[in-house]
Amino acid sequence: MAALWQDRPVGLVGLGLIGGSLGLDLQAAGADVRAWVHRDATAARALERGLAQQVSTNPEVLNSCGLVVLALPLDQLMAPDPALVGAIPEGAVVTDVGSVKAPVLAVWDQLTPRFVGGHPMAGTAQAGVEAGQRGLFLGRPWVTTPAAHTDPEALAAVRQLAEVVGSQPISCPAEAHDRAVALISHLPVLVSAALLEAADQGAAGEEQGLVRALASSGFADTTRVGGGNPQLGTLMCRWNRQAVLNALRHYQRQLDTLMAAVAAEDWPALAAKLEHAQQIRPPFLKTPS
């Protein structure tokens, strides 16, 4: 299985958090890593940080790569630079790391024959060429979304990539992935952003200061993803719109039930709902790896 990296280099397009972290881990695993970036300053800094053996602003750096990872934001995946498409070596396996899969597949299946949709479920609040770090993917799921026409060898190569950096490969249909992340990743951003706005606008004058002073770790945790990268949140909603709207409808129904119990002073009903919420949470939590 080590043949993938020993025979031909791995190409990275983009050296932000995901690309840079991949570069560090892949090199540590013995791979020859080559990266294409947009700006000279990024290339220079990436080489200083050792994110890849070769880094260039010239797409020819990808020429001999057998596997190319598109470590780009969703908007760049959805409207790819023609130079990028032209730079994919013939026969190369191509995968991406975008957080929505069906629309990316719809674009890239037309552009290159051995495309496999991918989504490593790993992240930090950091971005850019300074963000890449060793071990980012350790113990985290790495989703691949093969379709009926996906080349099995290409799929195996991407799953192997995930394993080499310590991730757990999971394969599922793109639509199932997109529905799942709408519920556990995209919906929380909106739920949490609305909470920030409500806490901000629910008090006026002097009481605003009191509200801020009394906010504790519970409020900080509940609002963390809502206070995250707004561009990323917008792209997720844009490209996973239908699944996000469905998730919002499920959420609204649940919130209505809780609100109705409070309004009706039905404390046994409220307690039963909160007990149920407490019971269903543990299966969503990971044992820290």
Which residues inside 108-137 make contact with a second copy, applying CB under 8 A? 121-123
In one-letter notation, the amino acid at residue 6 is Q
Task: Give yes or no for residue 66 binding a second copy (CB under 8 A).
Answer: no
Task: Give yes or no for residue 148 binding a second copy (CB under 8 A).
Answer: no
Cα R_g (the chain), whole angstroms: 22
Of 11 and 233, the one with the shorter C-beta distance to a second copy is 233
Query: What CA–CA distance (Å, rounded) separates 71 from 26?
Result: 14
Binding residue for a second copy (CB under 8 A) from 33, 164, 174, 187? 187
**Least distance between a second copy and beta carbon 107 (Å):** 18
Of 86 and 218, the one with the shorter C-beta distance to a second copy is 218
Query: What CA–CA distance (Å, rounded) separates 13 from 44?
Result: 15
**Least distance between a second copy and beta carbon 280 (Å):** 5
Of 34 and 119, the one with the shorter C-beta distance to a second copy is 119
Name residues contacting a second copy, limited to 219-278 (CB under 8 A). 219-231, 233-234, 237-238, 241, 244-248, 250-255, 257-259, 262-263, 265, 267, 270-271, 273-278
**Least distance between a second copy and beta carbon 110 (Å):** 23
Binding residue for a second copy (CB under 8 A) from 60, 81, 130, 200? 200
Binding residue for a second copy (CB under 8 A) from 2, 44, 106, 215? 215
Of 27 and 167, the one with the shorter C-beta distance to a second copy is 167
Task: Give yes or no for residue 2 binding a second copy (CB under 8 A).
Answer: no
Task: Give yes or no for residue 210 binding a second copy (CB under 8 A).
Answer: yes
**Least distance between a second copy and beta carbon 147 (Å):** 17
Name residues contacting a second copy, limited to 166-185 (CB under 8 A). 170, 172, 176-177, 179-185
**Least distance between a second copy and beta carbon 85 (Å):** 25
Angle CA(147)–CA(150)–CA(153) in degrees, nearest 5? 140
**Least distance between a second copy and beta carbon 260 (Å):** 10
Task: Give yes or no for residue 281 binding a second copy (CB under 8 A).
Answer: yes
Stretch touching a second copy by CB under 8 A, among 48-56, 64-72, 131-139, 216-224 = 216-224
Between the CA atoms of 272, 248, 265 and 267, what dihedral angle is there, to the nearest 10 degrees?
10
